[in-house]
């Protein structure tokens, strides 16, 4: 995959391991800077992390962000982005960027897409125009976008698919992975492989072995957090991790709940991304050490202190919970709350997760990760999963 005369686009060094779990700390080296791991990546779907700017991201300690190939293809188009110097120049973010393949968005399009061995044909949700994605075309698009880490086209089988359907999707993902490797053109970009396998542990392990045997620079574990119960998700991850190369970074796609991040780290995952913290913030949900709170609640109306006294983010250092409550409740005919609320709430939730990762990394370097994890679990109460699933079912499927 790499010409011996050309330095690799990415190197990974493991700096600490946990004796009691599979957790590890490391550093991912890229052309746009180093990424200390474990790390949470804010999601900038449309070349912007919703409601926050690059200066906010730098201030909160973000070292890498994720953007979406599918959405950037449809609007404004990769050729235009390339004329601005790629995503780094377009969005004025000088640090590492990861672009996913758009495979999950294609998966979520349902009846709008047709999958074959060649690729995916679908109708744009914007204007109905026909779009074709192949493994080769995805590599072309991501070369134009210019991210440091890129992902190949894959097929994510839906939760509840039959074993035969999952096997076909997994085999297709393997074939597409080989085609992506053969068509990658930029030596300054690192390509991560994506194992699939649905909810079958044997197929998961088989896919991990196959993808791990190919000359990818890292691994992005796909097809989880797609509706399955959390115990099932963790069983699938436990089937995957032992089959992956130890010396390559491991990325778990689409995981962002605070409690899940620490579980993922304990399993041996290095990198995470999810739209959850910013989406939750926009609906009034803010993270605290004891769990998620709803800022719309009347109990915050007269709270003069910050939402989280232990938090060092700009929001908690500067504003009271009472003020945030006022902003989100200031609804009129034109808005669902004052716009400033979305920025302040998003800053807090993202910083909460980044600070959680910083603490996990520090505990790994100090050899105290199990205690760090236990302290967090002793106070943080995650949302009831049955209630959360019911609420998700009532909401339209998001495209971000």
pLDDT one-digit tens code per residue, 145-167 = 999 999 999 999 999 999 999 99
Q: Which of 78-92, 97-111, 146-160, 189-203 has the lowest mean pLDDT?
A: 97-111
pLDDT at residue 128, rounded to an integer: 81
* 11 within some domain: no
Tell whether 229 and 251 lie within a shared domain: yes
pLDDT at residue 84, rounded to an integer: 98
Tokens of 6: 């050309």
* 348 within some domain: yes
Closest Cα partner for 328 from 313, 307, 314, 310? 307
* 146 within some domain: yes
Q: Is 37 exposed, middle or buried (0-12, 13-18, 19+ CB in 10 A)?
A: buried
Residues 243 and 381: their CA atoms lie apart, in Å, by 32
Q: Is 386 exposed, middle or buried (0-12, 13-18, 19+ CB in 10 A)?
A: exposed
Q: What is the mean pLDDT of the chain?
A: 93
Task: Based on the residue annotation, tell me whether 273 is a catalytic residue of this protein.
Answer: yes
Q: How many Å is the maximal CA-CA distance in the chain?
A: 64
Tell whether 130 and 233 lie within a shared domain: yes
Residue in 154, 270, 273, 308 annotated catalytic: 273
Residues 274 and 96: their CA atoms lie apart, in Å, by 17
pLDDT one-digit tens code per residue, 23-74 = 999 999 999 999 999 999 999 999 999 999 999 999 999 999 999 999 999 9
What's the CATH code of the domain at 188?
A: 3.20.20.105
Residues 348 and 394: their CA atoms lie apart, in Å, by 26
* 15 within some domain: no
* 392 within some domain: no
Tell whether 150 and 68 lie within a shared domain: yes
Q: Is 216 exposed, middle or buried (0-12, 13-18, 19+ CB in 10 A)?
A: buried
* 400 within some domain: no
Strand partners, 96: none
Strand partners, 218: 192
Closest Cα partner for 205 from 227, 221, 229, 225? 221
DSSP 370-383: HHHHHHHHHH-BPP
Tell whether 155 and 252 lie within a shared domain: yes
How big is the CA angle at 46 (ends 54 and 156), to the nearest 5 degrees? 125
Tell whether 138 and 200 lie within a shared domain: yes
Tell whether 359 and 228 lie within a shared domain: no
Q: In the predicted model, is pLDDT for residue 236 greater than 60?
A: yes
Tell whether 172 and 86 lie within a shared domain: yes
Q: In the predicted model, is pLDDT for residue 98 greater than 50?
A: yes
pLDDT one-digit tens code per residue, 175-201 = 999 999 999 999 999 999 999 999 999
Q: Residues 6 or more apart from 186 whose CB is under 8 A from it?
A: 9, 143, 146
Examine the fold and report which residue of 274, 298, 330 is the final residue of a domain before the chain moves on: 274
Count of domains in the chain? 2
Tell whether 198 and 336 lie within a shared domain: no
Tell whether 252 and 340 lie within a shared domain: no
Residues 396 and 377: their CA atoms lie apart, in Å, by 31
**Residue 122 φ/ψ, nearest 5 degrees:** -150, 170
Tell whether 317 and 355 lie within a shared domain: yes
Examine the fold and report which residue of 211, 242, 274 is the final residue of a domain before the chain moves on: 274
Tell whether 300 and 264 lie within a shared domain: no
Examine the fold and report which residue of 246, 274, 302 is the final residue of a domain before the chain moves on: 274
pLDDT at residue 193, rounded to an integer: 98
Percent of the chain with pLDDT over 70: 93
Mean pLDDT of 285-297: 97
User: Comparing 388 with 159, which gets the higher pLDDT?
Assistant: 159
Classify each residue of 125-161 as buried b or exposed e, where b means 16 or more C-beta atoms within 10 Å of its C-beta. eeeeeebebbbbbbbebbbbbbbbbbbbbbbbbebeb
Q: Where are the beta strands (DSSP E) in the chain?
A: 11-17, 24-30, 33-37, 39-41, 65-68, 97-100, 113-115, 120-123, 130-133, 149-150, 190-193, 218-221, 250-252, 271-273, 285-288, 291-294
Q: What is the dihedral sign for C-alpha 240, 43, 70, 129?
A: positive
Domain region containing 360: 280-384
Q: In the predicted model, is pLDDT for residue 18 greater than 60?
A: yes
Tell whether 237 and 337 lie within a shared domain: no
Residue in 100, 154, 217, 308 annotated catalytic: 100
pLDDT at residue 396, rounded to an integer: 42
Q: Which of 143-147, 172-176, 266-270, 332-336 has the lowest mean pLDDT?
A: 332-336
* 297 within some domain: yes
* 159 within some domain: yes
């Amino acid at each position: 995959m790499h010409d011996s005369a050309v330095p690799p686009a990415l190197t990974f060094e493991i700096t600490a391991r946990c004796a009691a779990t599979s957790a590890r700390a490391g550093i991912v080296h890229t052309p746009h800077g180093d990424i200390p791991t474990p790390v949470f990546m804010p999601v900038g779907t449309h070349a912007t992390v919703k409601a926050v700017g690059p200066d906010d991201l730098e201030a909160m300690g973000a070292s890498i962000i994720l953007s979406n190939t599918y959405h950037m293809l449809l609007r404004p188009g990769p050729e235009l982005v390339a004329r601005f110097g790629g995503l780094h120049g377009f969005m004025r973010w000088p640090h590492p960027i990861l672009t996913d393949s758009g495979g999950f968005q294609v998966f979520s399009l349902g009846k709008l897409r047709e999958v074959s061995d060649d690729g995916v044909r679908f109708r744009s949700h914007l204007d109905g125009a026909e779009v074709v994605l192949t493994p080769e075309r995805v590599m072309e698009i991501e070369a134009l976008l210019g991210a440091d880490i890129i992902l190949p086209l894959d097929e994510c089988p839906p939760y509840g698919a039959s074993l035969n359907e999952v096997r076909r999707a997994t085999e297709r993902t393997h074939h597409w992975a080989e085609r992506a490797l053969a068509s990658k053109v930029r030596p300054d970009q690192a390509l991560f492989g994506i194992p699939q396998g649905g909810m079958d542990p044997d197929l998961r392990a088989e896919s991990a072995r196959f993808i791990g045997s190919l000359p990818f620079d890292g691994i992005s574990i796909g097809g989880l957090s797609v509706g399955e119960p959390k115990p099932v998700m963790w069983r699938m991850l436990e089937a995957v991790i032992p089959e992956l190369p130890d010396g390559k970074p491991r990325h778990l796609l689409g995981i962002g709940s605070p409690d899940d991040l620490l579980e993922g780290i304990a399993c041996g995952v290095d990198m995470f991304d999810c739209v959850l913290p910013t989406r939750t913030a926009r609906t009034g949900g803010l993270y605290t050490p004891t769990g998620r709170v709803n800022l719309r609640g009347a109990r915050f109306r007269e709270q003069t202190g910050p939402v989280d006294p232990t938090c060092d983010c700009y929001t908690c250092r500067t504003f009271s919970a009472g003020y945030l409550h006022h902003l989100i409740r200031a609804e009129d005919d034109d808005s669902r709350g004052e716009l400033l609320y979305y920025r302040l709430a998003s800053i807090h939730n993202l910083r909460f997760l980044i600070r959680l990762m910083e603490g996990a990394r520090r505990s790994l370097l100090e050899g105290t990760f199990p205690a760090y994890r236990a302290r967090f679990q002793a106070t943080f109460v995650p949302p009831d999963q049955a209630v959360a699933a019911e609420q998700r079912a009532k909401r339209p499927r998001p495209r971000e």
